[in-house]
Amino acid sequence: MKINLNDHESSDLINFANLKLGLFNSKSFLNLKELIEFKDISLGFPLLLNKNNKFFLLRASSNKFKVDKNFFRKYIYKVDNKNYGPLINFFKKGDFFLNDVELKKKYNLEYKKIYNHNKKLISFIKKLKKNKKKVTAFQTRNIPHLGHEKIINFLLKKTDYLIINPVIVPKKKGDIKYEYLEKFYKSIIKKKYNPRKVFYYPVIANMYYSGPREAVHHSILRKNLGFDQFLVGRDHAGAENAYHPDAAFKIVKKLSKNLGIKVLAYKGSYFCKTCNKVVEKDACKSKKLKCKYLDISGKEFRAHIKNRKYFKFADIDLQKYIFRFKNIFS
């Protein structure tokens, strides 16, 4: 999959392809009237096209409109902080937007790569679902540690097939490069799981870090891809401690009947010092013992890898494999 995801403007092209595939609650970039309807969180995240983009041509029917940043902060991101990083980033190219546009021909090949990748994922899921088999999506962005393995084991008890389904977006500095994330997950799958039951297959989409709203947005995405179940974990798509860690799951649970997909909850993986094992939070509580938890931090794991030090909460063979590579972070 050779797509220029180093170009952050590719986010516009990604949205265009996914709208054409019918993966969200609109068929094209929104106009101002449609945006206002997205005050309803059950619609997911509104996909807008900034006027200052390089991919699209105006039509006679195109219209330009201004989006009020305070409206977006209050009703879309639902944060009090006017300087919330993802909100600032959303408006970094300005506050004027367009709809009803035409893709420039020179970008058609790159558009088709995105479109075809996600279309093949739809076909793959459809094939797995033959004979009424259940298929579940697990979204992740980190190199797998023992906490992720605990989540995978949790999900395998609830599904026929599990797809490790990270969201592939334009990278930011410090993120693991996608080709290495794929290598490392496939290494763990080969060692510890049935490769005919657990698969690695990413979806190309965008991240906005809108917390609970984005959990809804991602649930809609997985439903339209064909998944039966989707895991929403602790602080899903949150940033800068803007949202309560449980807020995302609570909203999708409330809306689950209308979303058309079963949403699974997971409180987070921790190392229990009392029981001396990795557990789901609260799962190992005893009437006699007060369990003490250590957070298994993906950030800490990345720091260990960068310093070429072993992390005690990750598979040792995987780490030996990781250390064979250099420059795995963007």
Q: Is it the case that residue 285 has pLDDT exceeding 70?
A: no
| Of 94, 103, 90, nearest in space to 46 by CA | 90
Q: How far is CA 233 from CA 105, 140, 178, 192, 249, in A?
A: 40, 10, 21, 22, 7
Q: Residue 326 to residues 108, 141, 177, 178: CA-CA distances in angstroms?
A: 33, 19, 11, 14
**Total length of the chain:** 330
Tokens of 181: 């994330």
CA dist 111 → 13, 41, 206, 220, 282 (Å):
6, 28, 14, 22, 45
DSSP 323: T
For residue 105, what are the CA distances in angstroms to 1, 19, 56, 254? 21, 18, 9, 43
Q: Considering only CA atoms, which of 305, 284, 308, 286 is closest in space to residue 294?
A: 284
Helices (H), the chain: 10-21, 32-37, 69-71, 85-90, 108-128, 146-156, 178-192, 212-225, 247-259, 298-306, 316-322
Alpha-carbon gap, residue 43 to 17, rounded angstroms: 19
CB atoms within 10 A of CB 77: 23
Residue 207 neighbours by CB distance under 10 Å = 19
The number of distinct structural domains making up the chain is: 1
- Rounded CA separation 167/164 (Å): 10
Give the separation between CA 69 and CA 267, rounded to whole angstroms. Answer: 33
Short-list 76, 92, 25, 80, CA closest to 214 = 76
Q: Is the pLDDT of residue 311 over 70?
A: yes
Q: Is residue 32 part of a domain?
A: yes
Q: Residue 27 is part of a domain; what is its CATH number?
A: 3.10.400.10
Look up the domain containing 104 and give its range. 10-110
The answer to whether 138 and 161 have CB atoms below 8 angstroms apart is no
- How confident is the model over 60-80, as a mean pLDDT? 97
Place of tokens 């079963």: 262
Please tell me the distance from the alpha carbon of residue 49 to that of residue 30, in angstroms, as a whole number: 8
pTM: 0.94
Token duo for residue 210: 């809108």
pLDDT in tens, 145-196: 999 999 999 999 999 999 999 999 876 777 899 999 999 999 999 999 999 9
DSSP at 122? H
Contact yes or no for 14/45 (Cβ under 8 A) = no
pLDDT tens digits for range 195-221: 999 999 999 999 999 999 999 999 999
pLDDT at 1: 47
Q: Hey, what are 237's tokens?
A: 């798509």
Whether 257 maps to a domain, the answer reads no
CA-to-CA distance for 271 and 294, rounded, in angstroms? 5
**Domain-located, residue 105:** yes
pLDDT in tens, 226-276: 999 999 988 899 999 999 999 999 999 899 889 999 999 888 899 998 888
Q: Is the pLDDT reported for residue 284 higher than 80?
A: no
